[in-house]
Amino acid sequence: MYGVPVPREIHRSPALNAPDLAAVVDDLATRSVNYDEALAPPHVTDGWHQDRWTVVLGHEAPGEPEPDGIVAAADALVNGYEFTDPALLRAAYRHPADVVGRDMLLQGRFAMFRFHMGVRITAELDEVRAGADGPERVVGWAYQTLDGHLEQGRLTYEIVKDLTTGRVEFRIDAYSRRSEIRNPLFRAGFSMFGRHTQLRFYRAALARLADRLPHPPDPPAPDADGLVRVPTGAPPDRATWAEIHVVHPGR
């Protein structure tokens, strides 16, 4: 059903069999960001969740990041999207691909449901900015949600080094709200569990990046269909026969 181009209403139909991920990833190029940035933070804040999460990863010598230090290793993990908890979220994207403009298909996992949703990386960071204790080197990127996502919003993932003290942090800076969800079951489920699951994701992402940093995996490699699937080493599902896949559940 998913091996050839199909109408979007079929993409939204639940199915017991997994979709053709390569076809769904390629379809993301036709999708737009699903909200108006002029009506989102910082311009409009009513109705939006705004979150900022931080974990200290360690210390380098003061000054610019060391070539093989904590910043470089953490940035590689973030660039590969290796910091997600596979029990909550997995991702697939085309390889090779530039950072800005990269479309990623996220698979949110809740009970037996597998929600396939698109995001696009729209900004890459490599800059020095003023911090609380002095100048900071910031590297990372931000993605925005695409049409069909359960949420609307922007997530920014940053590796930040305080150039004065050498402290290195991983920061998540985000704004989000529930998308327009036509399916009443999914809408009710998201209203009950969406925010809780979102906060679990943030906490798990911080902890997982810190845990993987001492022994990072090899850079993710594409499978035979040209897709990179991350996080690397995610265990297979125990009962794939019971999965219910929903592609672009937010519309």
Which pLDDT belongs to residue 240? 63
* Beta bridge partners of residue 33, listed in sequence order: 146
pTM of the model: 0.90
Extract the residue ranges of the chain whose pLDDT is less than 50. 1-12
Structure-block tokens of residue 92? 């697939």
Q: How far apart are CA 212 and CA 121, in angstroms?
A: 23
Number of residues that make up the chain: 251
* Beta bridge partners of residue 26, listed in sequence order: none
CATH class of the domain whose range is 20-234: alpha beta
pLDDT digits (tens, 9 = 90+) for 157-182: 999 999 999 999 999 999 999 999 99
Which pLDDT belongs to residue 238? 59
Q: How far apart are CA 48 and CA 50, in angstroms?
A: 6
Which pLDDT belongs to residue 237? 61
Of 58, 133, 138, 113, the residue nearest 247 (C-alpha)? 113
CA torsion through residues 107, 105, 25, 82, sign: negative
- Please report, to the nearest 10 degrees, the dihedral formed by the alpha carbons of residues 75, 128, 57, 48 taken in order: -90
Q: How far apart are CA 222 and CA 170, in angstroms?
A: 26
Strand-pair category, 134-145 with 151-162:
antiparallel
Which pLDDT belongs to residue 81? 94
Which pLDDT belongs to residue 187? 92
pLDDT digits (tens, 9 = 90+) for 77-115: 999 999 999 999 999 999 877 899 999 999 999 888 999
